[in-house]
Amino acid sequence: MSAVPQPTISLPTPNLNSIPNPTTLLKTLSSSYSLAHFKQVHAHILRSTHSPSHSLILKLLSSPSLPYSLSIFSHLPHPLPSLSTPFLRHLSRSSKPEFAFFVYQRLRNEGIPIDRFAFPPLLKAASRVGWLAEGKEIHGFGFKSGFHSDPFVQTGLMVMYVGCGRLPEARLVFGKMSYRDIVAWRIMIDGYCQSELFDDALELFEEMKRANIEADKFVLSGILSACARAGNLDCGKAIHDYIIQKELVIDAHLRCALVTMYASCGCMDMAQQLYDQMKPKNVVVSTAMVSGYSRHGRVKDARLIFDQMVEKDLVSWSAMISGYAESDQPQEALRLFKELQILGIRPDQVTMLSVISACANLGVLDKAKWIHVYADKNGFGGSLRINNALIDMYAKCGSLERARNVFGKMTSRNVISWTGMINAFAIHGDANNALRYFQKMKEAHVEPNGVTFVGVLYACSHAGLVEDGRKIFASMINEHNITPKHEHYGCMVDLLGRANLLREAVEIVETMPFAPNVVIWGSLMSACQIHGETELGEFTAKRVLELEPDHDGALVLLSNIYAKERKWQNVGDLRQLMKERGISKERGCSRIELNNEVHEFLVADRNHKQAYEIYEKLNEVVSRLKLDGYAPNTGCVLVDLEEEEKREVVLWHSEKLALCYGLINGAKDSCIRIVKNLRVCEDCHTFLKLVSKVYRREIIVRDRTRFQHYRDGVCSCRDYW
């Protein structure tokens, strides 16, 4: 056992003239809270000719200073268990539980008796400081002393092993107990829950019921927590039924556990019903409701609960910010974060990760730079998780350079760091650097995982590196022993489909070891659309609709195929079907940030305050581009319209409007950054290339899947998109 240093405390020298009687001294000690007062009373005791009573010594041992108490104990000539055991109990509950081992060392060294009641506090102290070796020694000593079958000692051993994270040893002790009371069951179940072994916790609860042990509210709360964290609604409902069947009183603690379980499992109607019955509603259960609604896309309901909360802690703020960030409402997440700052509440790492994620989704570089500065100023700069998130944020905000700077300054990197950087290169169309960093990652002896290979294959797919993609896919299986999943086969189908190797792509779909999902059929469907393979495109679109009947992309593609073939009756039938099912094609939307303000534009949008100027600018731009040979490509307008109407539809695409706003209001020669929710169409792609040349402006557009950098009339995708 590692030695615990003995505190050196000088005992007071008695210098008082009168000595109160022992009863008065005991009363004085009982009302004393300062060390100085304790020392005065101790001085009186030392001057007294009478031996101090047992009660008086125990009071002295509970002084406000643990080192002082230990010093007193060290001067006791032969402390019997009636003194040493209560003192051990006091130390095990104190701020310095490790001091209990100093007492234990003295008792062992001097051969002073240790009774069975001394073991639980010693084991509790070992549990609190995580001293497994010391705990095991006490276990061995208890066995030699004949206390191994004592229920007090066995329960203490369980507490120690659970506290030190040794669940198998705890279960072994539990299995050997001749009598298991509710406390023993609770310790074991809680241990499994704390270690996130929820299935083991639920299995033990079933064993407990078979043993006819009545569960108390603490056990039930622990099991409900396990159900919540495991997302096991069926088991959670069974526990609720058990509570009703046993007619147990559902107090605030148990009701809170039930609400949290239902909310975590997405059963929000039941959670709301139980929540409404709670009076008052505490911050924990309200936060669970906010998280539950947010997680299942009901952000308005989450905000309603959040606004009604009388008290809000950082966890509740983080839950609401995270809800907005994950529900594609990044601006609301950032707005709420500003409110948090105004209130002077310091965010933690969880909050910062949500805010960084919101910035990444928004795709606005100025806000991203501000968040980065804020994170560094508030001490988050050294966090591996934060730096990994910053790499992703900068990549999604269009700044590969800043993503590389974060990566370069990191003192340690894990597989997520390397994968994040590879993905950054991939979405920006820089396949060469994606492959180079993949090689450097392996040279740094960081083992790539399945997500890494998705990034590398994605890079190959968008750059047309078919042979590299084939080799990497094979190495994933043969060298790294990673079994391909749907997403890996999807990348290969996309790689081959983009390269117009549709026959080979179809072969992969047909020979996969599992049924293709919507994503894989969708990749093949997109390739058919790119290369004008209408027959195969119609086939794949129908396969998508078999798996997902309301898939808007497949319905639109099918409609477009019929439109290209001028089968207007089929187009009308499909559009009527979509109308009946409430399915609509997602409207194009583009965002641009200028002067710390984000501006959004829809197709043919005239709601912006500068709408007149924007359309005037658009006419000017079109006139200038026509001198360079531009003619609107109306081939992508697959509705039955007159040619002039088609030209207007094409020219009023949201990214063109955002671009013109940037040309009007942005600083000359500044980079124009646009974020779009859909894929850029062929006409806009040509339009943006020509604008970058004629107006000598760099334009960066983030669409649904990737970035395109337009400069001097050339796009980074080199028209392979």
Indicate the SS3 state at residue 510. Answer: helix
What residues have CB less than 8 Å from 36, skipping those under 6 apart? none
Supply 316's token pair. 């509740």
pLDDT: is 317 or 280 the higher one? 317
Nearest to 699 by CA among 680, 671, 676: 671
pLDDT band at 12 (very low <50, low <70, confident <90, very high): very low
With the C-alpha atoms ordered 321, 327, 330, 331, is the resulting torsion angle positive or negative? negative
What pLDDT is recorded for position 14? 40
Rounded Cα distance, 73 and 60, in Å: 9
Query: Average pLDDT, stretch 321-345?
Result: 92
Q: Per residue in 586-617, pLDDT tens?
A: 788 999 988 878 899 998 899 999 999 999 99
* Of 553 and 145, more confident: 145
Contacts 24+ apart (CB under 8 A), 401-404: 402/368, 402/369, 402/372
Cβ atoms of 645 and 579 within 8 Å: the answer is: no
Residue 415: how many CB atoms within 10 A of its CB? 15
Tens digits of per-residue pLDDT, 300-312?
A: 999 999 999 988 9
635: DSSP letter:
G
pLDDT in tens, 337-376: 999 999 999 999 999 999 999 999 988 898 999 999 999 9
pLDDT above 70 (res 48): no
What is the DSSP code (8-state) at residue 99?
A: G
Strand partners, 672: 699
Q: How far is CA 559 from CA 329, 495, 534, 538, in A?
A: 31, 25, 11, 10
Cβ contact 683:653 at 8 Å: yes
> Quick one: pLDDT at residue 585?
73
- Is the pLDDT assigned to residue 11 strictly greater than 60? no
Altogether, the residues listed in the chain come to a count of 721
Q: CB of 399 within 8 A of CB of 365? A: yes
Contact 254, 282 (CB under 8 A): no
Most confident option among 132-141, 151-160, 430-439: 430-439
Q: Which residues pair with 27 in a beta bridge?
A: none
More confident residue, 297 or 66: 297
Segment 661-668 shows an average pLDDT of 91
Distance (Å, rounded) from C-alpha 671 to C-alpha 710? Answer: 10
Spatial neighbors of 58 by CB under 8 A, at least 6 apart, are 83, 86, 87
pLDDT tens digit sequence for 218-273: 889 888 988 888 888 988 998 899 898 888 888 888 889 999 999 999 899 999 99
Pairing of strands 672-676, 597-602: unpaired
Q: Which residues contact 166 (CB under 8 A, 6 or more apart)?
A: 132
User: What pLDDT is recorded for position 526?
Assistant: 87
**pLDDT score for 83:** 83
How far, in Å, CA of 395 to CA of 421, rounded?
8
Rounded Cα–Cα distance for residues 584 and 25 (Å): 85
Check pLDDT > 70 for residue 2.
no
Q: Measured between alpha carbons, how far is 57 from 156 in angstroms, rounded to an integer? A: 26
CA pair distance 401, 12, nearest whole angstrom = 67
For residue 214 the two structure tokens come to 């009545």
Contact by Cβ (8 Å): 16, 47: yes
**Do the strands 699-702 and 589-594 form a parallel or antiparallel pair, or are they unpaired?**
unpaired
This prediction has a pTM of 0.75
Q: Most distant CA pair in the chain: distance in Å?
A: 116
Our measurement of the distance from residue 487's CA atom to the centroid of its chain's CA atoms, rounded to an integer in Å, reads 21
Cα atoms in the Cβ-side hemisphere of radius 13 Å centred on 650: 25
Two structure tokens written together for 57: 């010594």
Q: How confident is the model at residue 17 (pLDDT cuts 50, 70, 90)?
A: very low
pLDDT of residue 477: 96
Do residues 699 and 718 lie in contact, with contact meaning Cβ atoms separated by under 8 Å? no
Q: Over range 198-219, report the average pLDDT.
A: 87
The answer to whether the CB of 91 falls within 8 A of the CB of 129 is no
pLDDT at position 32: 57
Percent of the chain with pLDDT over 90: 52
Rounded Cα–Cα distance for residues 127 and 643 (Å): 79
Q: What is the pLDDT of residues 397-426, one digit of tens each?
A: 999 999 999 999 999 999 999 999 999 999
- Distance separating alpha carbons of residues 239 and 375, to the nearest angstrom: 43
The reported pLDDT for the residue numbered 37 is 66
Average pLDDT, the chain: 87
| pLDDT at residue number 713 | 94
Ramachandran region of residue 560, left (φ > 0), alpha (ψ -120 to 50) or beta?
alpha
Q: Tens of pLDDT along 76-118?
A: 788 878 888 888 888 888 888 888 888 888 888 888 888 889 9
Tokens of 246: 């046993």
CATH hierarchy code of domain 487-585 = 1.25.40.10
* Whole-Å CA distances, 579 to 28, 53, 574, 604, 637: 85, 90, 9, 22, 19
Q: What is the pLDDT of residue 70?
A: 80
Do residues 98 and 4 make contact, with C-beta atoms less than 8 angstroms apart? yes
- The pLDDT of 202-230, averaged and rounded, is 87
Question: How large is the C-alpha radius of gyration of the chain?
Answer: 35
Q: pLDDT-derived band of residue 505, with 50, 70 and 90 as boundaries?
A: very high
What is the enclosing helix (H) or strand (E) of 310?
none
Q: Where are the alpha helices (DSSP H) in 251-364?
A: 252-264, 268-276, 283-295, 299-308, 314-326, 330-342, 349-362
> In terms of pLDDT, which residue wins out, 57 or 548?
548
Whether the Cβ atoms of residue 545 and residue 538 lie closer than 8 Å to each other = no
**Which pLDDT band, with edges at 50, 70 and 90, does 8 fall under?**
very low
Q: Which of 523, 533, 531 lies closest to 554 in space, CA to CA?
A: 523
User: Is 271:237 a contact under the CB 8 Å cutoff?
Assistant: no
Least confident of 46-50, 256-260, 498-502: 46-50
